[in-house]
Amino acid sequence: MPMLSFISDEALLQAVKHLLVTADDAQKKATKNFSRNVIDPFALLFEMSGFQVDQETWTIGEKRRQAQKTLQNQVGAFHQKILGSLNGWNDLETGSVVDIVSMNRKIIAEIKNKYNTVKGSDKVKVYDQLETCVMTKGHQYKGFTAYYVEILPKSRARYDKEFIPPDNTKGKSRPANQLVRQIDGYSFYALATGVPDALAQLFASLPDVIEGCSEYRFADREFAKHFFHKAFG
């Protein structure tokens, strides 16, 4: 019996393993390049004194911070791999105009990990790309519905609404278009899988999958679950 009803064990394991390798590589890279990176010496002084930490503790924390930044940038790619592995969906991978597509359902999507991954001023570019895909005569995605997906929303609220980012250069927002939409991650996972709590099921499965792929053991699984509920309700 598969771990999750909406994705194969093979695809789930592959996505998890890829992110674990990324985390390991990020740690090694942060250690290797630590002396090459430009460190703000003023911030260093105030962090050590303000946080009451010694040199060794500060150095460990700074290396972890640099590695964490690399890893967090790849969490969006993890969701892209998961969603692109669902039945009827394809991951178009890096370099494509959009991230995933379902030809049968006539849906394309751009996947971002957090609501603030893209700066507000740059969201108009995302809108323009999506709008071009679904509105241009002769385009392979003409008439599709395009989604700008924010896996982690700013609040727990669910939304599936027209995407109307502001254009600061013109002092007005992009026009509303039923085919160009903005949606939170929980709602998009439900839409893509047909399983209302698919994102929650995915999260609940990850500790077992991670422990099966690594030597790490979670001492308190409720710790991470607390933050899931804070983010998604």
Please report the pLDDT score of residue 171 as a whole number.
Answer: 77
Please report the pLDDT score of residue 218 as a whole number.
Answer: 92
pLDDT in tens, 60-94: 999 999 899 888 889 999 999 999 999 999 999 87
pLDDT band at 1 (very low <50, low <70, confident <90, very high): confident
pLDDT band at 2 (very low <50, low <70, confident <90, very high): confident
For residue 148, the SS3 value is: strand
Please report the pLDDT score of residue 81 as a whole number.
Answer: 96
Q: Report the predicted TM-score, pTM, of the whole model to 2 decimal places.
A: 0.92
pLDDT band at 205 (very low <50, low <70, confident <90, very high): very high
Please report the pLDDT score of residue 94 as a whole number.
Answer: 73
- Within the chain, residue ranges assigned H as helices are 9-32, 41-50, 55-84, 123-135, 185-193, 198-213, 221-232
Reply yes or no on whether the pLDDT at 9 is more than 90.
yes
Which of residues 1 and 211 earns the better pLDDT score?
A: 211
pLDDT in tens, 17-62: 999 999 999 999 988 888 788 899 999 999 999 999 999 999 999 9
The residue-averaged pLDDT of 206-233 equals 93
End-to-end CA distance of the chain: 28
pLDDT in tens, 88-114: 999 998 767 899 999 999 999 999 999
**Interacting residues of 34 by C-beta distance below 8 A, sequence separation 6+:** 59, 62, 63, 66
Reply yes or no on whether the pLDDT at 117 is more than 80.
yes
Amino acid at 46: F
β-pairing verdict for 160-162 and 145-152: unpaired
Reply yes or no on whether the pLDDT at 167 is more than 90.
no
pLDDT in tens, 169-204: 777 899 999 999 999 999 999 999 999 999 999 999
